[in-house]
Amino acid sequence: MKTAEIAQRYLNYFEKNDHLIVPSASLVSDDPSLLFTVAGMVPMIPYLTGVVPAPHPRIADVQKCIRTNDIEEVGRTARHGTFFQMLGNWSFGDYFKEGAIRYAWELLTSSEADGGLGFDEKDLWVTVYETDDEAEAIWRDIIGLKPERIQRLGRADNYWNTGQPGPGGPDSEIFFDRGPAYGKDGGPAVDDSRFLEIWNLVFMQDFIENIRSKTEFDIVGELPQKNIDTGMGLERVAFLKQGVENMYETDQVRPVLDRAVELSGRTYGAVHEDDVRFRVIADHVRSSLMLLSDGVRPSNEGRGYILRRLMRRTVRAMRLLGVDAPSFPELFEVSKDAMKSAYPVLETDWSVLSAAAFAEEETFRRTLASGSTILDLALDETKKAGGSTLSGSEAFLLHDTYGFPIDLTLEVAEEAGLDVDRPAFDELMRGQRERAKADARNRKRQLADVSVYREFRAVGETLFAGYTDLQTDSRILGLIVDGAPVQTASEGQVAEVILAETTLYAESGGQVADKGTIVGTGFELDVLDVQKPVPGLISHTVHVASGSVAVDDRATTVVDAANRRAARQAHSATHLVHAALRDTLGKTATQSGSLNRAGYMRFDFAWSQPLSVETRSEIEDITNRAVNDALEVTTRIVSLDEAKEAGAMALFGEKYGSVVRMVDIGGPWSRELCAGTHVSSSAEIGLVSVVGESSVGASNRRIEALVGQDAFRELAAERTVVSQLSAALKAPRDQLSTRIEELQSSLKAAEKRIAQFEAKEREGRVPALAESAKPAGAFHVVAASLGEIGSADDVRTLTLSVRERLGSDAAVVALGGVANGRPIVVIATNDAARAAGAKAGALVRIAAGVLGGGGGGKDDVAQGGGTDASALDAALDAVVTELKGA
């Protein structure tokens, strides 16, 4: 039974049993404490906690998930994968334990001919929470499961909670017995390799607090509404139904593994370590493809770093299998073909997704090449110093800064006959992980408890009237101060205001929040920010400028009209720039982020190369021609399917419901899904001036532009500068470039002549300085101040020239000078001086200490400086004194 068929049977069964079927949420989680959707229940948390009313009492879905905390186990066990799909059915105050158990059992054990999954009852075991008599009785007395195949386990195994105060409850898990070949008998309590968990039924009934660990917390009461949260692992069911050994050999994953086998020329099943690498490749390629399809792009932080790590582990595994040539064009296409029936977006967006994948592989191949050079130098230095072990810090630097894998460092070092201080490397890695965990915990602690919005959201969604009006009368539904609901807020306080209706736009879709005020009888509130803390609810953060405001007061929202007009211009300009980019660069130049505020727009897009000046100009020209053409801007509320059929662009990072707002500029020329505010005609934008284009990652670029009056003011300022230059250089505007090039050429020629003169003058000082050498202990010493100098390089050049002039006797040269008001000292020693104990690095630190600064270098030449130029002679005397006592 194919994986997609299993998923469809699941959805068909629950749809038949009055469940609303919802699409998978994005792998990019809405929860700011999570990088990804790590479990099937994550998108349902607002419904499970009651913060947001569920759209239906019963829901079923197939949810995409990414989890990388066990990444080192991938390929080594039958069940660890980074990307997986959870089949979930949910009840929000509807059916409870008996209903959940009945549905699960019926679907699992019904015949395939009747639409079920066809598992044999004799192969199934269950566990229940140690005190859950009710669940055990249902399994035993209603389902008819033999008591010896029902096992009770404690909190560590059969109690679910989020790890934070809130809902929790006992669960019941269903296991499949894989047979005696996989372990000993005795049920899941004895062996979880033989007995594989396939379905978890969570009975969410308790409210818990004071969480000290996974098993230590206090159950303080019952939830007002009992919910069902279940999850069945699609990949686990698939490998059982397909009769294969693990998830990597199922129909959605195995094709990638097979292609890796073909490319490597090796055999799957012959060598254990090779098999692990094949499975890692199969898993990571699919995970990377799915992350790319949800808008994630490789980078050095956050989600992008996780994606980059998956992709680079794939390249590394292929290299260890003997494949040095690019492999992503082969592997990713195979994964796309295996997954596209379940996720058609992989086919429709293939050109964009593949371009990002291939660019990352090429980037990492360059990294491997440069990292190899750095590693070779480090190994040479270790050998020259007589060492046999590369330091852990150098290995960590290669890994952390250059992305060079530790196992590759170990391999190359071994080939060079050296060891690597792996314990020291591991300790540095542990420190990095601890810092990352602490940062994550800190971010989690800083999150507001969104349950404070539950009662306000229960009233309904906040009505946004700002598309057509700048003012509206409303009622204050709630006030929040310091995270807690209050009845009033007084002058000087900062509070959150929840209204039934508002014209103030909440930050979303790249557009910043509106500015404005909220006024009513006896109060005026300055709006500081507008956000959507939970879906459907708008919260206004305000400063109470005067008076006192209370719940149930009537209030009027007033939008700052000038700011809104400029913000509309910028947002509509962003759509025009996006269309112009796709006209110029092609359909693969898709948006990956944006920011729009009054007078300014920033647009990030998928592209790996800098734009030429000509391309930038063309994009700007197409955009302003669209402005000049006064294109009509229309908005329509349509179904998501209608919008996709019409070719509307769905943008990175945005979540869409079944009904969406589609914005057209010039008909289909620019057609995007967007909830932002827009002009009614492109002519209202006025002007778009591109002021910057830069890199924001290996495969992403950024365009910045000023819009409307800000664009005009910027161009007017440039015109003033041009006029001033024209007057100063006595050249017409159209000849300015030629005149400046002529001046630059003249300046370079003059600088060259000056440099030649200075070099000659420096060389002329060498004989006199060398003749000034005086004995100091066992050394001939030149110690002199050169006065004002051009740069430290001048002192260094002169110091080395004098040292060469002094011959083979033990000689030390210490010269100082003042550059831009700061003293500089350079000290050089020859071979005989070093043999007699004179070390330039140690001597320069003495001099720099007198100057109030620091310095360092090698034994033969070193440089230092400080802040007290008047102490330069004293610093040089300190060096001579030190040498006399050596």
The answer to whether residue 417 sits within a structural domain is no
One-letter amino acid of 428: L
The per-residue b/e assignment along 194-212, b for 16 or more CB within 10 angstroms, e otherwise, is bbbbbbbbbbbbbbbeebe
> Could you tell me if 318 and 462 lie in one domain?
no
Return the pLDDT at 321.
Answer: 93
Return the pLDDT at 459.
Answer: 83
The 10s digit of each residue's pLDDT in 601-656 is 999 988 878 999 999 999 999 999 999 999 999 999 998 888 888 888 776 445 66
The answer to whether residue 429 sits within a structural domain is no
> Could you tell me if 358 and 281 lie in one domain?
yes
Between 378 and 732, the more confident residue is 732
> Could you tell me if 270 and 189 lie in one domain?
no
Q: Which two tokens stand for residue 87?
A: 């089949």
The answer to whether residue 48 sits within a structural domain is yes
> Could you tell me if 128 and 233 lie in one domain?
yes
The β-bridge partners of 670 are 665
Helix/strand/coil (H/E/C) assignment for every residue in 225-262: EEEEEEEEEHHHHHHHHCCCCCHHHCCCCHHHHHHHHH
How many contiguous H segments (helices) and E segments (strands) does the chain have?
25, 34
Residue 38 · residue 68 · CB < 8 Å = no
> Could you tell me if 785 and 711 lie in one domain?
no
H/E run at residue 537: strand 537-550
Q: How far apart are the first and last CA of the chain?
A: 85
> Could you tell me if 462 and 483 lie in one domain?
yes
Q: Which residues are annotated as a binding site?
A: 571, 575, 674, 678
The β-bridge partners of 85 are 64
CA distance 882 to 847: 10
Return the pLDDT at 446.
Answer: 37
Q: Which two tokens stand for residue 298?
A: 């490789």
Residue 538 · residue 577 · CB < 8 Å = no
Task: Answer with the one of 532, 556, 580 that is the final residue of a domain.
Answer: 556
Q: Which two tokens stand for residue 53?
A: 């009313």
Mean pLDDT is lowest, of 69-83, 335-349, 403-417, 517-531, for: 403-417
The answer to whether residue 743 sits within a structural domain is no
Hey, is 177 helix, strand or coil? Answer: strand
Q: Which two tokens stand for residue 263?
A: 């490319």
Q: Which two tokens stand for residue 773?
A: 């050498």
* Residue 147 confidence (pLDDT) above 80: yes
CA distance 320 to 276: 11
Query: Alpha helices of 509-661 — where are they, by DSSP H?
Result: 561-585, 613-628, 640-645
> Could you tell me if 69 and 148 lie in one domain?
yes
Q: Which residues are annotated as a binding site for Zn(2+)?
A: 571, 575, 674, 678
Q: How many CB atoms lie within 10 A of CB 343?
A: 19
> Could you tell me if 225 and 120 lie in one domain?
yes
The mean per-residue pLDDT over the stretch 245-273 comes to 94
The answer to whether residue 411 sits within a structural domain is no
Residue 128 · residue 136 · CB < 8 Å = yes
pTM confidence score = 0.71
Token pair 């059915």 in the structure block, residue: 89
CA distance 91 to 80: 28
Q: Which two tokens stand for residue 129?
A: 């929470």
> Could you tell me if 572 and 496 lie in one domain?
no
Return the pLDDT at 437.
Answer: 56
Q: How many CB atoms lie within 10 A of CB 650?
A: 19
The 10s digit of each residue's pLDDT in 57-98 is 999 999 999 988 777 778 787 667 899 999 999 999 999 999
| CA angle centred on 869, ends 864 and 874, rounded to 5° | 80
> Could you tell me if 581 and 522 lie in one domain?
no
> Could you tell me if 51 and 127 lie in one domain?
yes
Q: Which two tokens stand for residue 452?
A: 């404070």
- Alpha-carbon distances of 615 from 240, 529, 582, rounded to whole Å: 54, 37, 12
The mean per-residue pLDDT over the stretch 203-215 comes to 89
Q: How many CB atoms lie within 10 A of CB 135?
A: 25
H/E run at residue 393: helix 392-402
Return the pLDDT at 173.
Answer: 97
One-letter amino acid of 503: T
Count of structural domains within the chain: 5
- Count CA within 13 A, CB hemisphere, residue 78: 19
Between 751 and 169, the more confident residue is 169
- Alpha-carbon distances of 804 from 54, 353, 494, 828, 879, rounded to whole Å: 84, 61, 72, 10, 20
In this structure, what CATH number is given to the domain that contains residue 826?
3.10.310.40
Query: Which of 820, 802, 821, 809 minimizes the C-alpha distance to 861?
Result: 802
Hey, is 524 helix, strand or coil? Answer: strand
pLDDT band at 277 (very low <50, low <70, confident <90, very high): very high
Cβ-based neighbours of 317, under 8 Å, separated by 6 or more? 277, 278, 280, 281, 284
Return the pLDDT at 655.
Answer: 61
Residue 654 · residue 672 · CB < 8 Å = no
Return the pLDDT at 441.
Answer: 47
Query: Which of 691, 712, 711 minimizes the C-alpha distance to 703?
Result: 691
Query: Which of 529, 534, 473, 535 minimizes the C-alpha distance to 502?
Result: 473
pLDDT band at 442 (very low <50, low <70, confident <90, very high): very low
Return the pLDDT at 9.
Answer: 96
Residue 669 · residue 647 · CB < 8 Å = no
One-letter amino acid of 793: D
Task: Answer with the one of 341, 358, 387 that is the final residue of a domain.
Answer: 387
> Could you tell me if 164 and 313 lie in one domain?
no
- Alpha-carbon distances of 807 from 303, 766, 859, rounded to whole Å: 61, 13, 18
pLDDT band at 589 (very low <50, low <70, confident <90, very high): confident
CA distance 356 to 310: 14
Return the pLDDT at 447.
Answer: 37
In this structure, what CATH number is given to the domain that contains residue 467?
2.40.30.130
CA distance 840 to 861: 5
Return the pLDDT at 445.
Answer: 36
Mean pLDDT is lowest, of 159-163, 555-559, 707-711, for: 159-163
- Count CA within 13 A, CB hemisphere, residue 597: 5
Return the pLDDT at 444.
Answer: 40
Residue 169 · residue 205 · CB < 8 Å = yes
Query: Which of 10, 240, 227, 224 minimizes the C-alpha distance to 104?
Result: 10
Q: Which two tokens stand for residue 113?
A: 């001919």
In this structure, what CATH number is given to the domain that contains residue 612?
3.30.980.10
Hey, is 74 helix, strand or coil? Answer: coil
In this structure, what CATH number is given to the domain that contains residue 163?
3.30.930.10
The answer to whether residue 258 sits within a structural domain is yes
Cβ-based neighbours of 175, under 8 Å, separated by 6 or more? 124, 125, 126, 127, 187, 188, 195, 196, 197, 198
Q: Which two tokens stand for residue 710?
A: 């800000």
The answer to whether residue 744 sits within a structural domain is no
The 10s digit of each residue's pLDDT in 355-404 is 889 988 988 888 777 777 777 788 888 888 788 888 888 888 777 766 67
Q: Backbone dihedral region of 756: left (phi > 0), alpha (psi from -120 to 50 degrees) or beta?
A: alpha
Q: Which domain holds residue 543?
A: 450-556
Percent of the chain with pLDDT over 90: 59
Rounded to 5 degrees, what are φ and ψ at 172? -130, 125
Token pair 């290299």 in the structure block, residue: 319
Rounded to 5 degrees, what are φ and ψ at 236? -65, -45
Hey, is 211 helix, strand or coil? Answer: coil
The answer to whether residue 414 sits within a structural domain is no
Task: Answer with the one of 249, 265, 287 that is the final residue of a domain.
Answer: 249
CA distance 255 to 262: 11
Tell me whether residue 290 is exposed, middle or buried, using C-beta atoms within 10 angstroms of its C-beta: 0 to 12, 13 to 18, 19 or more: buried
Distance of CA 671 to the CA centre of its chain: 28
One-letter amino acid of 214: K
- Alpha-carbon distances of 226 from 41, 50, 189, 242, 457, rounded to whole Å: 15, 10, 28, 36, 19
- Alpha-carbon distances of 321 from 75, 98, 245, 301, 313, rounded to whole Å: 15, 51, 22, 28, 12
Token pair 């803390």 in the structure block, residue: 533
CA distance 343 to 337: 10
CA distance 110 to 116: 4
DSSP code at position 681? B
Hey, is 126 helix, strand or coil? Answer: strand
Tell me whether residue 250 is exposed, middle or buried, using C-beta atoms within 10 angstroms of its C-beta: 0 to 12, 13 to 18, 19 or more: buried
